[in-house]
């Protein structure tokens, strides 16, 4: 698992599920994207364990929810539809990570996505961090293997 693979998984989830296009953010222009304010996490357990974290800017949350529901941005709120949407995206990206790590005979189990506080979002460590530009809005994805698990798994 590396930064590129993590980004590809999230891009595929966004495009196939929400019809939102995304690409890796240009590191030189990160300041032009609104910062993330909403955070989610999903754990996986089994022979190896770890977590996948997502964080989205307010605009990303609204855009994702409106795309999933097929309604205007004005008809969704971040606290309700936005968080539901980010949780579901976390579930899908987490599932893709688990599938890649577990292979054809996967013994890993995916937990349920949860909303977390900013302070619980990892920074640094042994994981992989990817930042996407989703139609001008910021989405961060972070994969954190549990201590002792190899970051080069899969």
Binding site for another protein (CB under 8 A): 12-13, 15-19, 46, 65, 68-70, 81, 84-85, 87-88, 91-92, 94-96, 98-99, 102, 104-110, 112
For residues 74 and 104, which CB has a smaller minimum distance to another protein in the complex?
104
For residues 64 and 131, which CB has a smaller minimum distance to another protein in the complex?
64
Whole-number Å distance between alpha carbons of 140 and 93: 12
Q: What is the closest distance, in whole angstroms, from the C-beta atom of residue 75 to another protein in the complex? A: 12
Sign for the pseudo-dihedral over CA of 90, 34, 63, 6: negative
3-state SS, 16-40, equals: HHHCCCCEECCHHHHHHCCCCCEEE
Q: What is the closest distance, in whole angstroms, from the C-beta atom of residue 32 to another protein in the complex? A: 28
For residues 19 and 120, which CB has a smaller minimum distance to another protein in the complex?
19
Q: What is the closest distance, in whole angstroms, from the C-beta atom of residue 79 to another protein in the complex? A: 13
Whole-number Å distance between alpha carbons of 76 and 91: 20
For residues 36 and 64, which CB has a smaller minimum distance to another protein in the complex?
64
Q: What is the closest distance, in whole angstroms, from the C-beta atom of residue 100 to another protein in the complex? A: 9
Q: What is the closest distance, in whole angstroms, from the C-beta atom of residue 152 to another protein in the complex? A: 19
Whole-number Å distance between alpha carbons of 34 and 20: 17
For residues 33 and 102, which CB has a smaller minimum distance to another protein in the complex?
102
DSSP 8-state secondary structure symbol assigned to residue 123? -
Whole-number Å distance between alpha carbons of 13 and 15: 6
């Amino acid at each position: 698992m590396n930064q590129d693979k993590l980004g590809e998984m999230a891009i595929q989830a966004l495009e196939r599920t929400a019809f939102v296009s995304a690409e890796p953010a240009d590191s030189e222009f990160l300041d032009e994207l609104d910062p993330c304010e909403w955070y989610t996490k999903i754990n996986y357990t089994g022979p190896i364990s770890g977590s996948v974290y997502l964080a989205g800017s307010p605009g990303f949350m609204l855009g994702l929810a409106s795309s999933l529901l097929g309604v205007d941005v004005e008809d969704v709120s971040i606290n309700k539809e936005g968080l539901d949407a980010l949780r579901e995206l976390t579930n899908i990206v987490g599932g893709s990570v688990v599938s890649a790590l577990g292979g054809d005979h996967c013994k890993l189990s995916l937990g349920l996505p949860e909303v977390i506080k900013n302070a619980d979002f990892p920074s640094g460590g042994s994981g992989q961090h990817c930042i996407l530009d989703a139609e001008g809005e910021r989405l961060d994805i972070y994969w954190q293997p549990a201590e002792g698990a190899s970051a080069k798994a899969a």
